[in-house]
Structure formats: structure tokens, C-alpha cells
Amino acid sequence: MNQVLIASFQQQKGIRGAHFYDGEYCEFVPWHHIVESCNLMRDRENPAHLEFEEKLLHTISNIDAKIEYVLVRQHHANITIECFREQGL
């Protein structure tokens, strides 16, 4: 796991939201800002946008923010939503 992601996960532990990562930088966006942005930018005419929005909101709303992290990763034109779980040693 990339050190940038690990640092971002540790800094935002227990806070519901998503870590947006482009391969170089990682920015954490809290849940309420994501919901506000989705409401402002909603494009009902674009099924791909709605599908992404639904998956993102569903994933974030169903995590345990104390031990799970949502990562939105962009690589060129591909965007993925991933969920990571903290594992104790």
C-alpha cells in the first residue's frame, strides 16, 4: 500500500468520507461535502454519472468509519471505488 494512502487513512480515521487518489495525491472529502456535491452536480441525463454516484454514496454510507476506508482512484479515464478494512496484527 502506498504511503500517501496510509497517511491519509490514518489522519481521517473515524470520519465518514472518501479518499480521492490520482496516483500521486490523495485528498479526503467528508461525507457531507460529497452529498452536497452530488446534489449540485447531479446529471439525470447521464446514466453513468448516476450509477457512479449511487455506488459511491452506497459504499460510504455502509462502512464502519472506525476501521474501513473508501478510496476513489482515478487512472486515466477509469475511476474505481474501493473499500479497505484495517486489520489488526
Q: What are the average pLDDT values for consecutive 10-residue runs of the chain, which has 89 residues?
A: 90 95 93 89 77 92 95 89 85
Cβ-based neighbours of 9, under 8 Å, separated by 6 or more:
19, 69, 84, 86
Question: Treating both helix axes as pointing N-terminal to C-terminal, what angle do 31-41 and 47-61 enclose, rounded to 10 degrees?
Answer: 160
Neighbours of 26 (CB within 10 A): 21
Q: How many domains does one find in the chain?
A: 1
Report pLDDT for 33: 94
Q: How far apart are CA 19 and CA 46, in angstroms?
A: 24
pTM of the model: 0.86
Report pLDDT for 37: 87
Report pLDDT for 13: 93
* Domain range for 70: 3-85
Report pLDDT for 44: 73
Task: Find how far residue 11's CA is from the centre of its chain.
Answer: 15
For the chain, how big is the Rg over CA atoms in Å?
Answer: 13
